[in-house]
Amino acid sequence: MTRHITIVRLEGFEPPTLGSVDRCSDPLSYSRAGYLSYPVHVGPYHTVMSARELRDLIAHAAPTLTELRHDLHAHPEVGFAEHRTTEVIREQLSALGLVAAPTTMATGAVASLAGTRPGRRVLVRADIDALPVTETRDLPFRSTQPGVMHACGHDVHTAALLGVAEVLSRLEDRPGSFTFVFQPAEEALGGARALIEDGLLERHPCDAVLGAHVTSLVPLGVVAVRPGIAMSRGEAFRIVLEGEGGHGALAGDAGNVLIAAGHVLTRLREVVAGLSYETTPLVCSAGVVRAGTSPNVVPRRAEVAGTLRTFTPEQTAAAHTGLNALLAEIAATNGVRTRLEITGSSPAVVNDPHLTSLAAAAARSVVGDNHVVEMAPTSASDDIGEFLERVPGCYLFVGGALGDGTSGMHHSDDFAIEDAAVAIQAHVLAAAALALAEPPA
Ligand SMILES: [Zn+2]
Ligand SMILES: [Zn+2]
């Protein structure tokens, strides 16, 4: 997720306690005993036999996937610099007999797997980048790279997609075909758009897109989905303020870009005040202020950078109008010039209702009926929206909170995810990929 701090809210949902998870499905057994103990549910995609086969394959792969995730976690790399990560992915793919397809990008990997019978073409995407954060939790597999950390769980995504590739390639009966996309640079760096502009969807045309984000905000073994708009459009902006500047002892308030920037900071939220989608508020907030070089010089220029989260094109247009009006007012009352620049964007994540219902049914077959919940839209963003803007599909959330309740927030230095989430995510994605690959009835 890109620069998110917003909690995924599960309306009307009581998180299961550790005790209640045990009844019909026990994903915790992934970590407790290294195998799966819950009963086999028949998904919309296959017979009892193939559901069992999939479960057994996941159980077999789970220990290796956990090791892989630990290795990736210990060696995090930020966006577009995921060189070692890419090597690991390529090695694992080639061990499965899958060849990474050529791209013009230095990092990331794409591989294809043919089905054994006709069906639809499914693209499954994982992001692989880490964040410029220093890990503070003393895990046995903590980051060995100072200042870099898998603080969003993309190590889990990478290992889980390798697990999906493994189990699907071992299944004897699989419809359609699959493209596994290991995408670099999700964290506000435009990796999805770069891959698509590199011709990914022309070289690997697909009928459906699938992905999942692990989350510390949802209990382990619970899957959260939402048809329609699930995540906001995220826009990065920069506001440039220019004024006369001058001697700190002589400058008045007029033309003072620092005072004007102060007004921008305190009034930004007015742009989206009272606006929401469903029950989720829109957000307009700043993360960077740049100005000044000396205590006794009023600078000529200041910058405020931040993000805007909206859900519909109408909301985006209204927020832009509001932001421009605010800047015009601040410029007029403070004797400065202001300019708004949109420096990056990630489209809203919009899930296709039909494919989402298929993916949710597949998820229920893995974690049990009681553990798939509908979530409220979140003002977090994810650039899988770039794929979903072009191809219908589904992006869902896989719970990975630590059992003791100490998982930190995504992007924070104490962020942590339960090991068992790797195999659960692989299982859910594999089952959902099979469901989406079935030919239409
Ligand atoms: Zn993320
Ligand atoms: Zn993130």
Q: Could you say which ligand is closest to the alpha carbon of residue 151? A: 2
The CA 411 to ligand 1 mean position distance, Å, reads 8
The residues, ordered by sequence, that sit 6+ positions from 397 with a Cβ below 8 Å of its Cβ are 8, 212, 213, 214, 215, 218, 223, 224, 225, 375
The CA 4 to ligand 2 mean position distance, Å, reads 6
The CA 191 to ligand 1 mean position distance, Å, reads 12
Query: Of 328, 346, 364, which residue constitutes the final position of a domain?
Result: 346
Sign of CA dihedral 397, 403, 405, 407: negative
In this structure, are residues 184 and 79 in contact, taking their beta carbons and an 8 Å threshold? yes
The CA 245 to ligand 2 mean position distance, Å, reads 38
Give the domain range for residue 330.
Answer: 233-346
Residue 137 lies in a domain: yes
Of 290, 289, 291, 294, nearest in space to 249 by CA: 294
The CA 405 to ligand 1 mean position distance, Å, reads 20
Residue 13 lies in a domain: no
CA distance 67 to 48: 29
What residues sit around ligand 2, an ion, with C-beta below 5 angstroms?
1, 152
CA distance 6 to 410: 9
- CATH code (residue 205): 3.40.630.10
Residues 283 and 187 in one domain: no
Residue 3 lies in a domain: no
What does DSSP assign to residue 29?
H
The CA 127 to ligand 2 mean position distance, Å, reads 10
Residues 293 and 353 in one domain: no
The CA 70 to ligand 1 mean position distance, Å, reads 17
The CA 2 to ligand 1 mean position distance, Å, reads 6
What is the pLDDT, as a whole number, of residue 367? 92
Partnered with residue 298 across adjacent β-strands are 246
Residues 337 and 364 in one domain: no
* SS3 label, residue 59: helix
What is the pLDDT, as a whole number, of residue 63? 95
Span 84-117, pLDDT tens digits: 999 999 999 999 999 888 888 899 999 999 999 9
Residues 257 and 283 in one domain: yes
What is the pLDDT, as a whole number, of residue 410? 94
Q: Which residues of 14-39 are buried (b: 16+ CB within 10 A; e: fewer)?
A: eebeeeebbeebbbbbbbeeeebebe
* pLDDT > 70: percent of the chain: 89
The CA 187 to ligand 1 mean position distance, Å, reads 7
Query: Of 329, 346, 363, which residue constitutes the final position of a domain?
Result: 346
Query: Of 321, 346, 371, which residue constitutes the final position of a domain?
Result: 346
* pLDDT string in tens for the chain (441-residue length): 443 323 343 344 444 333 333 333 334 333 333 323 333 444 454 555 578 889 999 999 999 999 999 999 999 999 999 999 999 999 999 999 998 888 888 999 999 999 999 999 999 999 999 999 999 999 999 999 999 999 999 999 999 999 999 999 999 899 999 999 999 999 977 999 999 999 999 999 999 999 999 999 999 999 999 999 999 999 999 999 999 988 877 767 779 999 999 999 999 999 999 999 998 999 999 999 999 999 999 999 999 999 999 999 999 999 999 999 999 999 999 999 999 999 999 999 999 999 999 999 999 999 998 899 999 999 999 999 999 999 999 999 999 999 898 999 999 999 999 999 999 999 999 999 999 999 987
Residues 330 and 359 in one domain: no
Q: Where are the alpha helices (DSSP H) in 33-125?
A: 48-74, 83-95
The residues, ordered by sequence, that sit 6+ positions from 156 with a Cβ below 8 Å of its Cβ are 69, 214, 400, 417, 421, 422, 425
Q: How far is CA 73 from CA 154, 168, 304, 420, in A?
A: 9, 24, 33, 15
Residue 122 lies in a domain: yes
Q: Could you say which ligand is closest to the alpha carbon of residue 411? A: 2
Q: What are phi and psi of 440, to 5 degrees?
A: -60, 140
Residues 288 and 388 in one domain: no
101: part of which helix (H) or strand (E)?
A: strand 100-101
Residues 220 and 336 in one domain: no
Q: How many CB atoms lie within 10 A of CB 117?
A: 11
- CATH code (residue 327): 3.30.70.360
Span 331-369, pLDDT tens digits: 999 999 999 999 999 999 999 999 999 999 999 999 998
Residues 284 and 244 in one domain: yes
Residues 223 and 243 in one domain: no
The gap between the terminal CA atoms of the chain, to the nearest Å, is: 34
Span 197-224, pLDDT tens digits: 999 999 999 999 999 999 999 999 999 9
Residue 95 lies in a domain: yes
The CA 422 to ligand 1 mean position distance, Å, reads 14
Q: Which amino acid is at 357?
A: S
HSE-up of residue 99 (Cα within 13 Å, Cβ side): 3
Residues 248 and 359 in one domain: no
Residues 158 and 43 in one domain: yes
Q: How many CB atoms lie within 10 A of CB 317?
A: 11
Residue 110 lies in a domain: yes
Instruction: State the total domains in the chain.
Output: 2
The CA 389 to ligand 1 mean position distance, Å, reads 18
Residue 169 lies in a domain: yes
The CA 186 to ligand 2 mean position distance, Å, reads 8
Residue 341 lies in a domain: yes
Q: Could you say which ligand is closest to the alpha carbon of residue 412? A: 2
The CA 410 to ligand 2 mean position distance, Å, reads 6
Q: Could you say which ligand is closest to the alpha carbon of residue 409? A: 2
The CA 275 to ligand 2 mean position distance, Å, reads 24
Sign of CA dihedral 43, 214, 116, 173: negative
The residues, ordered by sequence, that sit 6+ positions from 263 with a Cβ below 8 Å of its Cβ are 330, 333, 334
Q: Could you say which ligand is closest to the alpha carbon of residue 410? A: 2
The CA 21 to ligand 1 mean position distance, Å, reads 26
Residues 59 and 41 in one domain: yes
HSE-up of residue 105 (Cα within 13 Å, Cβ side): 28
The CA 2 to ligand 2 mean position distance, Å, reads 4
Query: Beta strand pairing status for 393-401 and 246-247?
Result: unpaired
218: part of which helix (H) or strand (E)?
A: strand 208-219
The residues, ordered by sequence, that sit 6+ positions from 17 with a Cβ below 8 Å of its Cβ are none
